[in-house]
Structure 1
Amino acid sequence: MKFINPSWLWLLLLIPGLYIALVFHEKRRQKKFEQFAKIPLWSTIVPDFTAGAGLAKGRLFLIALAFTIFALARPQWGTHEETAHVTGLDIMVVLDLSNSMEVEDVSPNRLKKAKHLVRSLAERLRGDRIGLIAFAGSSFIASPLTNDLEYISSTLEILGSQSITSQGTDTAGALEAARRGLERGAEDTAPVPDGKTFPSRVILLITDGEDQEGGATEQAAELNKSDIKLYIIGVGTQKGGPIPMRDADGNLHGYKKDRKGEPVISTFKPDQLTALAAAGGGKYWNATQDEQEIEEMLTDLNALNRTEYTERRYLVHEDRFQFPLAIAVILLFLELAVATSRKPAKLLLVLFIFGSFLPTQPASAESAVPLDSYFENRKGLEAFNDGKIEEAKKHFGAAQAIDPTRPELEFNQGVIRLQEGDVDSAVRSFDQAARLSQSNPQVSGQALYNLGGALSKKGDVPNAIRSYLGAISKAHQAKDFQLGEDARKNLELLIQQQQQKKKQEQQQKDEQDKKEQQEKQKKEKEKEDQKSKENEQKKEKDQKEPKQFEEPKESRKRQFRSPKLSPEDAERVMAELKNREKELHKRLKKQQGTSSGVQKDW
């Protein structure tokens, strides 16, 4: 047996106190009545009076009150199976983080306006999953598809142009990354039953339109062929503006310049974005101050097919509050038959009416578990506690096959795989468990904590640090202070190890550089010694051989002597050679061509 509203049970502590007060009141009333008449005369004076009727009435009232409180606590026992149908959209937001998004031609700047648009969209979604791709010269998945809007909001806060070192604007690469993210999100869901289809998939690109890499239109056409809608919101003005350069504290220290020293003016290209949206089978909007484009986009999204793409069977606990409530009603009628005053009964009837109209809450995740999966998981836990790893693995696998989207089952698989030494599989399991349990910070925090440990063993320190930070955040939400403290300690230890590793690598690099410098100096010295030796040998050889007459250098420069050519002929030959040399230089210049343009990094 379990209770949905157990806090009501605290009222049961009042029942003994009320009963004591009732007994005290009845005894005091009888004593006052004895002062008026002796007990043997009561039946003569008041024929309808029954001694102890008031106490009996009070007992029935208090028992009825106790059963009413019990009913308000919503007891549950017994179970039945229910089938839930899952529908929705998958939306991947592609956010431009290039330097040109820092331009302040819209208030406060292009990037902050784009972030506000994403938040406005996420707040209006109902039941749909949303993911986030950040891009500039390269792209990465900032958030996989999720229903956790808090995670999306916190991820947006930390994103900026400094989040990507490779600057530029590779829109085609970002669209391809979004497509892969949508496909991966589809693979993470439960298998699609026969006759069902995946929900509509949408990519929302938010950018200023400066695509410097090319290929975006072709990629948009490929998305359209894959039944992925491409919507675009352009942020900026056609006038554009210079790109501000700020330090880590946000202080302005100038504007970006190209390699020629000229200020870079980032322009907004809505025509290109309109053509890109058309190629992707979607629509294009300009970002406005009142954000009316979000409402128009939601109207389009609501028209898309939120397909029912899976069914899930759940074990639901039965509500049994009707039984204590019925007992309370029967006791009320009995109390009315005995009591002389109906005011207490009326009070209880009001309480009964209030309780009968309480909204029935849906079963929580803990109370809705597939039956077969529950028993298999239970067997797996018992085997794991007994040290029977293979048997536990078998039962956990059977439970997960029944309910593949339950995060606790994926978490258990990760523990088993880590126990077996399969770190890569453990990383995948913990990552999957963390993403499936976004709405359950307790499970999500434990999954991220174990994911950090597995990534540390794998040597992926940056992602391990990111996982521990996520575990600390989830522990704070779940108020699990022990988990948060453990994650913080591991994070500090990991950072210290990383710093020590970098220090050792720097020392090794310095030693290697020093060794290479010494070897270089040694080779140069050997080369100089060899050259000196050759010069000495040459000098000795020249001393042994008889010297021949050499024409003075000054004479060779000024005259051209030949036994067959006259001085006039020699001058004509030299002039012809100079002309040919000039022609050769001209042809070489033509072959080299003009130099390439300045590479853009905004």
Structure 2
Amino acid sequence: MEFANKEYFFLLLLVIPYILWCMLYRKKNEPTVSVADSFAYLNVHKSWRTKLVELPTALRIIVFVLIVFTLARPQSHNSWGTKETEGIDIMLSMDVSTSMLAQDLKPNRIEAAKNVAAEFISDRENDNIGLTIFAGEAFTQCPMTTDHQSLLNMLMDVRTDLAERGLIQDGTAIGMGLANAVARLKDSKTKSKVVILLTDGSNNMGDISPLTAAQIAKSYGIRVYTIAIGSKSLAPYPVNVAGSVRYVNLRADIDTETLRKIAQMADGNFYRATNTSELKKIYRDIDKLEKTRLNTKNFSKRSENYMPFALAAVIILILDILLRLTVLRRLP
């Protein structure tokens, strides 16, 4: 526990003159009765009221001390701390082209991919994880971080209408998506660096071919796991026709051979997910990756802890007043 206003503790020095005043000055001014001989009073039994006559004075001193502690503002410890944990650096590279709206996975491919990825992120609390998204172009949605709540918020904001809104070109730039993720990992100092690339299409856009991106990943010691998502049969796909949504059957055009070569070149594995349960199993398999040491920084918030002291002061003050007005009342 820390105190924001430590200078208030100097007020505790006022307790000393108050005690001296109680012992010397006040006793001299109390009413007395002169008697010829006090021998008869030596063995007189003292009542409990007599024994507790100084209790109100002690209570007032305690109240004063508690008020000083309240003014000093006790607070919980607040600092940056560095700890060494077990973790790896991971970049998720996710396809957000419009074909990810196909509903062979429930509720659709993009939502199923986001939900399973969210579970994966939540289970790897010690890892640095980031997110790259791509369609006809690629960009980093979230750089690598151990703040997984922020990452999850950005993941859940991922949508497939970026091309419709003119933010990026539609299409499937697998090479660009992989290259963007590799660029985020290449300077990492950790032993294990991994890209998990998920797509439902074939590379048809971008300035970098998927295999060239895989060679770059290999040169930086980055392992790439590729996931082809989508059923092998026709899948319902929503189409906007005259302001209403209609569904057409769409066959997944996935270049599994290229995805398999990417994984082989970058020392990873290739997976095919035709339903949500298979996708979950794939992420569980990847979850068994080796771990390495990782330094993380944690921040603890400062919180005010003066209320217990203030509350105790109020209660003791009320008790002091009640005792002085009732059982420990002194006359005159």
Is TM > 0.5 for Structure 1 vs Structure 2?
yes
1:212 match: secondary structure: coil
Specify the alignment match of 1:306 in structure 2: 293
- Cα deviation, 1:5-54, whole Å, max 9, x if unaligned, reads xxxxxxxxxxxxxxxxxxxxxxxxxxxxxxxxxxx9886552x5576421
CA RMSD in angstroms comes to 4.3
Q: CA deviation at 1:62?
A: 7.3
Specify the alignment match of 2:276 in structure 1: 289
One-letter amino acid of the structure 1 residue matched with residue 269 of structure 2: K
- Cα deviation, 1:129-154, whole Å, max 9, x if unaligned, reads 32221111111122222333343333
- Cα deviation, 1:342-400, whole Å, max 9, x if unaligned, reads xxxxxxxxxxxxxxxxxxxxxxxxxxxxxxxxxxxxxxxxxxxxxxxxxxxxxxxxxxx
One-letter amino acid of the structure 1 residue matched with residue 54 of structure 2: A
Specify the alignment match of 1:163 in structure 2: 162
Preserved contact between residue 102 and residue 250 of structure 2 (Cα < 8 Å): no
Specify the alignment match of 1:230 in structure 2: 224
- Cα deviation, 1:91-129, whole Å, max 9, x if unaligned, reads 211110122212111111111111112211222221323
Q: Which structure ranks higher in relative contact order (CA pairs < 8 Å, sequence separation ≥ 6)? A: 2
Specify which structure has the higher proportion of strand: 2
2:105 match: secondary structure: coil
Preserved contact between residue 242 and residue 266 of structure 1 (Cα < 8 Å): no
One-letter amino acid of the structure 1 residue matched with residue 173 of structure 2: D
The 3 A distance-change label for structure 1 pair 55 and 223 is farther
2:150 match: secondary structure: helix
Specify the alignment match of 2:124 in structure 1: 125
**Quick check: 1:174 aligned with 2:177?**
yes
Preserved contact between residue 93 and residue 130 of structure 1 (Cα < 8 Å): yes
The 3 A distance-change label for structure 1 pair 102 and 226 is same
Question: Partners of 2:40 and 2:49 in 1: how far apart?
Answer: 12
2:216 match: secondary structure: helix
Question: Partners of 1:114 and 1:284 in 2: how far apart?
Answer: 16
- Cα deviation, 1:265-294, whole Å, max 9, x if unaligned, reads 324555543332222212233445342333
The 3 A distance-change label for structure 1 pair 65 and 272 is farther
Q: TM-score, normalised by structure 1?
A: 0.36
- Larger Rg, first or second structure (1 or 2): 1
Specify the alignment match of 2:10 in structure 1: none
Q: CA deviation at 1:175?
A: 0.7
The 3 A distance-change label for structure 1 pair 75 and 280 is same
Preserved contact between residue 234 and residue 250 of structure 2 (Cα < 8 Å): no
Q: CA deviation at 1:240?
A: 3.9
Question: Partners of 2:283 and 2:62 in 1: how far apart?
Answer: 55
Residue identity (%): 24
The partner residue of 2:52 within 46, 49, 54 is 54
Specify the alignment match of 2:101 in structure 1: 102
The within-5 A match list for 1:60-79 is 60=58, 75=74
1:121 match: secondary structure: helix
Between stretches 110-119 and 210-219, larger displacement belongs to 210-219
Specify the alignment match of 1:245 in structure 2: 239
Specify the alignment match of 2:19 in structure 1: none
The within-5 A match list for 1:443-522 is none
- Cα deviation, 1:493-517, whole Å, max 9, x if unaligned, reads xxxxxxxxxxxxxxxxxxxxxxxxx
Preserved contact between residue 97 and residue 134 of structure 1 (Cα < 8 Å): yes
Q: CA deviation at 1:2?
A: 3.9
Preserved contact between residue 112 and residue 276 of structure 2 (Cα < 8 Å): no
Specify which structure has the higher proportion of helix: 1
Q: CA deviation at 1:264?
A: 5.2
The 3 A distance-change label for structure 1 pair 199 and 53 is farther
2:288 match: secondary structure: helix
Q: CA deviation at 1:156?
A: 3.0
Preserved contact between residue 263 and residue 269 of structure 2 (Cα < 8 Å): yes
Preserved contact between residue 201 and residue 254 of structure 2 (Cα < 8 Å): yes
Question: Partners of 1:307 and 1:153 in 2: how far apart?
Answer: 21
One-letter amino acid of the structure 2 residue matched with residue 238 of structure 1: K
Q: TM-score, normalised by structure 2?
A: 0.61
5+ residue gaps, structure 2: 5-38, 303-308, 310-332
Question: Partners of 1:94 and 1:44 in 2: how far apart?
Answer: 92
The 3 A distance-change label for structure 1 pair 85 and 267 is same
